[in-house]
A and B are shown apart, each in its own frame.
Chain A
């Protein structure tokens, strides 16, 4: 039920109605719950509403952290 999909914003009109691209399909989405949102932003969509914006900087940091963890465990294995 709390499933949310990450999707790219295609368009938003002045009433905050618009479309997202989800796996190549354009889906109508309501953006009234977001303060500022524009085409090309990535958002999380749940039940037809965009509920949060993805933060690219944080996304990159998560990936870096993941890489560190994985390398760290690779190193441990090599030391054995």
Chain B
């Protein structure tokens, strides 16, 4: 699919987008929901080219490391600083998020405790197998793309009685915050690029409410520059024809009904709960926790953790506003001054998908 990054193809698609711009109320405000899209848009310089073609791209809440609120990061830090013989396993980005208690990477664990970075949830399970005398906690973060893999991992631990393994969950569902965003008073979004790999799991239907109830067009989008431009063309056409739908321009990967086996294992292991998102507040039914019958594998239950929402972000960090599209990263007073990738002051500068990191590397203005 190399053609989807070919310069001439990109140019051709951009000129099509430009052709249509005069017949549209411009500039169009389109939200890319997924952090991986944010990265692609910046890396290929599409943000600036699109703004000249009458499309202004806004980043959405699709960076799981960023939207996980401080109280959960702090609870993970407490686990290893207050307990002996613990192994905290998690994805690399999570270890660098700064909180008022430092970051997982900078805190000093108690005797016999340590942090291990894993690539797959299954790696965490193998660590539990190899260390039967230690308590292994997998601090699992992710959207629907990652949740089925975590569900399979916990299911395996349950079946094999790996009682020293448990899950500290920071699991988020994508459709609920989109509803929050379109219903917010000052919403200006005129179209959505839906996340391709979340859709590979859940399919097209969970986004249907957006065109149906709010008449906002959108397209499920792949991760090549050509994919992004094709979806934007589709959104323009939907507006011109007054026919908002959920178009699927990534149908080489996304089936209309997603991946039913993955959805089934999610439903088998987890139940919905109301969750607190950084910047967006509490959202009904937007998070998942292990079902009651698996409570012994739920770190929160097992270690009687009290995770209470607070808004103690680091002083000056405006990550919450960035995640809602209220300000551009460069409008944060700390951006590139106190806050850089080497010394991040908030998660949006830590994560590979964070909007602040993308803007720092590639700029966010013309």
Interface residues, chain A, CB within 8 Å of chain B?
1-4, 6, 30, 32-35, 44, 46-49, 51-52, 54-56, 58-59, 62-63, 65-67, 69-74, 76-77
Residue among B16, B34, B149, B198 making CB contact with A33, cutoff 8 Å? B149
CB pair B259–A70 under 8 Å, yes or no, is no
Closest to A4 in B: B197
A4, A62, A67 interface centre (most CB from chain B within 10 Å)? A62
22 contacts between A and B (CB under 8 A): A1-B65, A2-B34, A3-B223, A4-B197, A30-B152, A35-B261, A46-B145, A47-B142, A48-B122, A51-B197, A55-B252, A55-B255, A62-B230, A62-B249, A62-B252, A65-B230, A66-B9, A67-B3, A69-B13, A70-B8, A70-B9, A77-B15
CB pair B251–A69 under 8 Å, yes or no, is no
The smallest beta-carbon distance between B362 and chain A, in angstroms, is 17
A27 to B359 Cα, complex, angstroms: 32
A67 to B13 Cα, complex, angstroms: 10
18 further A-B contacts with Cβ under 8 Å, apart from A2-B196, A33-B262, are A1-B93, A1-B143, A2-B35, A2-B143, A4-B197, A4-B200, A34-B259, A46-B149, A46-B197, A48-B120, A48-B122, A49-B152, A51-B197, A66-B3, A67-B3, A70-B9, A73-B12, A74-B12
The smallest beta-carbon distance between A5 and chain B, in angstroms, is 10
CB pair B120–A55 under 8 Å, yes or no, is no
What are the residues of chain B within 8 A of A3 when measuring CB–CB? 36, 197, 223, 352
CB pair A48–B123 under 8 Å, yes or no, is yes
The smallest beta-carbon distance between A59 and chain B, in angstroms, is 4
Closest to B13 in A: A69
CB pair B1–A51 under 8 Å, yes or no, is no
Interface residue? B4 (CB, 8 A):
yes
A35 to B120 Cα, complex, angstroms: 20
A48 to B36 Cα, complex, angstroms: 18
Closest to B152 in A: A32
> How many residue-residue contacts, CB under 8 A, span A and B?
143
What are the residues of chain A within 8 A of B233 when measuring CB–CB? 69
Closest to B199 in A: A52
Interface residue? B19 (CB, 8 A):
yes
CB pair A51–B63 under 8 Å, yes or no, is no
What are the residues of chain B within 8 A of A33 when measuring CB–CB? 148-149, 152, 259, 261-262, 265
If over half of B's interface residues share one DSSP class (helix, strand or loop), that class is named, otherwise mixed; here it is helix
What are the residues of chain B within 8 A of A66 when measuring CB–CB? 3-4, 9, 13, 226, 230
CB pair B253–A52 under 8 Å, yes or no, is yes
User: What string of 1s and 0s marks CB contacts (under 8 Å) between B114-128 and chain A?
Assistant: 000001111100000
Closest to A70 in B: B12
Residue among B146, B253, B261 making CB contact with A47, cutoff 8 Å? B146
What are the residues of chain A within 8 A of B220 when measuring CB–CB? none
What are the residues of chain B within 8 A of A2 when measuring CB–CB? 34-36, 62, 142-143, 145-146, 195-198, 353
CB pair B145–A4 under 8 Å, yes or no, is yes
Residue among A46, A55, A71, A73 making CB contact with B251, cutoff 8 Å? A55
A72 to B121 Cα, complex, angstroms: 46
Within 8 A of A (CB), among B2-20: 3-4, 8-9, 12-13, 15-16, 19
